[in-house]
Amino acid sequence: MTKSRPSSGPTMHDVAAAAGVSQATVSLVLNSASGSRFSDETRKRVMDAVQQLGYRTNAHAKTLRDGISGIIGFLGDAVATAPFAGKIIEGAQERAWEDGLLLLTMNTGGDKALEAASLDSMLSYKVAGVVYAGMYHRRLDVPEALSTVPSVVLNSQDRKLRLPSVAPNEELGGYTATRRLLDAGHERVAMINIETLESELPAAVGRYNGYTKAMAEAGLSIRPELVRFGSGNELDGFTHTMDLMTDDNPPSAIFCANDRTAWGAYQAATELHLSIPRDVSIIGFDNQETLAPHLRPGLTTLELPFVEMGRRAVDLILQGAEPDGRVEFMTCPLIERNSVTHPKEKP
């Protein structure tokens, strides 16, 4: 007895019949063809029919026809290890899926040979574009091969200003953090940065510039003894806070330029039997989910908008990602918890 061939599943003809439209209309809806004229109601009928029937497009045929696949490449230097990687990938993947595209993610660990091989593989799949992500904000030397496909630098910037980039607005974030402390009534506000200004690290420079701008607007001078430069780790936060708070004239508030530094500041306050925020207010930067909400008291901090940045990078690819070198800076929202209050009255 001859076995019957398995069904290949519902066809575009089936979708058209279920939606009450032509196959041409189904094709235009599924391919998001620009300039096509059909109503939102028609689009909904087609998409409802696709879902009900379980229709899947033929990805191989689409690649042969259009010269590109239904895939966007995501190439990162620490996708598997960075604490924020999940959020940034979540945003990119979510936005790609809204247009029926898949995200092909590769982690290079900073290995340039693996990066080149991964990128070559992505391009061989005829990806619709590539998101080139840094897991912390810096200026990157972008591979030349990215110039052959719509590409966006994410959470960093193209050092040569060729590709468009999406990055957090570090200066506005630093300004917002300092302004929050000033609005609470603090005047002697210290800052513990995550790198030196000479490093030219955008996060360190931008957050410091935001701090100085807010202080200047409040008519307060920048006191060198209140500005410290660490490496963004817990130990530096502890050491600098111990030094600041044992001074004859300690600050009443500290802006820590990342949450790990703030964690160290909390430990120093405990060591010195100081209460947060009664004796010293502390504000951080990053809103690291595994840390900021779990400190006692919860840390008021600025959130890096990773989900939104991931979405925006894919948006730009879908729009063609012109290689114009522009940098889009995204706002870091203030996350209020319980580590900031008004300064303690002096006896």
pLDDT digits 0-9 by tens, 226-263: 999 999 999 999 999 999 999 999 999 999 999 999 99
How many residues are listed for the chain in this entry? Answer: 347
Q: What digits encode the pLDDT tens for the residues 15-38?
A: 889 999 888 888 778 765 545 567
End-to-end CA distance of the chain: 99
Q: Find the angle CA(105)-CA(331)-CA(241) to the nearest 5 degrees.
A: 95
Domains and their CATH numbers in the chain:
66-168+306-330 (3.40.50.2300), 170-304 (3.40.50.2300)
Q: What is the reported pLDDT for 347?
A: 60
Contact assessment for residue 168 and residue 305, using Cβ atoms and an 8 Å cutoff: yes
Q: What is the reported pLDDT for 237?
A: 98
Q: What is the reported pLDDT for 60?
A: 45
Q: What is the reported pLDDT for 63?
A: 45
Whole-prediction pTM: 0.79
Q: What is the reported pLDDT for 192?
A: 98
Q: What is the reported pLDDT for 316?
A: 93
Where the chain has pLDDT below 70, the residues are: 1-8, 31-37, 56-69, 79-83, 346-347
Distance CA 253, CA 340 (A): 8
Say what angle helices 23-30 and 40-53 make with each other, to 10 degrees.
90
